[in-house]
Amino acid sequence: MLRHWPVPGHADLDRLHGLPAGTLAAAAFTPSRLHPAITGKITDEQWRSTVTADIAEACGSMDRARAVVTAWSDLMPRVDQEVVALLKRARKAVTVALVSNATTQLDSDLARQGLDVLADAVVNTAHIGVAKPDPRVYLIAAERVGAPVHRCLFIDDTAADVTAAREVGMTALHYREPEESPRRLLSAPRSPGSPERSIPNQLRGRATLGILANPHQHPVAVFARRSRRRAARRPGRFRRCGRSVA
């Protein structure tokens, strides 16, 4: 939700470097290649080195392969400014945690695009050893904001991750289109029988509101409300939980 892949030019890298379509994606994002990188078994540098080695034959030399991987690494995802504005507004009242299936480069990537100031906590799966949809990711995210999972709202663009969030007890929404407004997603009425029906009503009295997003390296967020006793005195206000950075 916060950052959108692929970016313009991503699909053109193979063609520009004389490679069969899909060569780079197959080398980088095959589960057996990507999973070790997003669970911290290998570093981002090691991951990109293995991708370079994998495409060297197709490129004709290691030098050409390195050039392809360098060009790919230099691409930056599009930042959704509406989500940025929403998170900035939310952070004035609540704790925000960004959660991402990401490599060890996530922190520097966020800083490079000025996104490292949007959250009180970052849960990078490369630092915790498990990736969505592993239920432990959601439990860790809730722990980082000091709230039980049943008081969290999860939003993701991958159906499997949304299902996993519901299975651990979170309320969850499936973000289906990059053009879909986060505000409209949160407020839109759900069809009868939908597990996402009446989301605003489900959130009443909850302690935490969260938005989590899917990568390739797309982050997430979790917000925490005041305790019920204090909230009763100041309706609609929120307390800020202690900060924790992954």
- For the chain, the three-class secondary structure string (H helix, E strand, C coil) is CCEECCCCCCCCHHHHCCCCCCHHHHHHHCHHHHHHHHCCCCCHHHHHHHHHHHHHHHHCCHHHHHHHHHHHHHCCCEECHHHHHHHHHHHCCCCCEEEECCCCCHHHHHHHCCCCCCCCEEEEHHHHCCCCCCHHHHHHHHHHCCCCHHHCEEEECCHHHHHHHHHCCCEEEECCCCCCCHHHHHHCCCCCCCCCCCHHHHHCCCCEEEECCCCCCCCCEEEECCCHHHHHHCCCCCCCCCCCCC
Digitized pLDDT (tens) for each residue of the chain, 246 residues in all: 788 776 656 678 898 999 999 999 999 999 999 999 999 999 999 999 999 999 999 999 999 999 999 999 998 888 888 888 888 887 887 777 888 999 999 999 999 999 998 888 899 999 999 999 999 999 999 999 888 898 887 878 889 999 999 999 988 888 776 556 556 655 554 444 444 444 444 444 443 444 444 334 444 444 444 333 333 333 333 333 333 333
Residue 202 has a pLDDT of: 45
Cis check: omega of the bond before 36, within 30 degrees of 0: no
Residue 228 has a pLDDT of: 38
Q: pTM for this structure?
A: 0.76
Residue 150 has a pLDDT of: 87
Phi-psi region of 169 (alpha: psi -120 to 50; beta: other; left: phi over 0): left
φ and ψ of 114, to 5 deg: 70, 25
Quote the CATH superfamily of domain 79-233. HAD superfamily/HAD-like (3.40.50.1000)
Residue 6 has a pLDDT of: 62
Residue 211 has a pLDDT of: 44
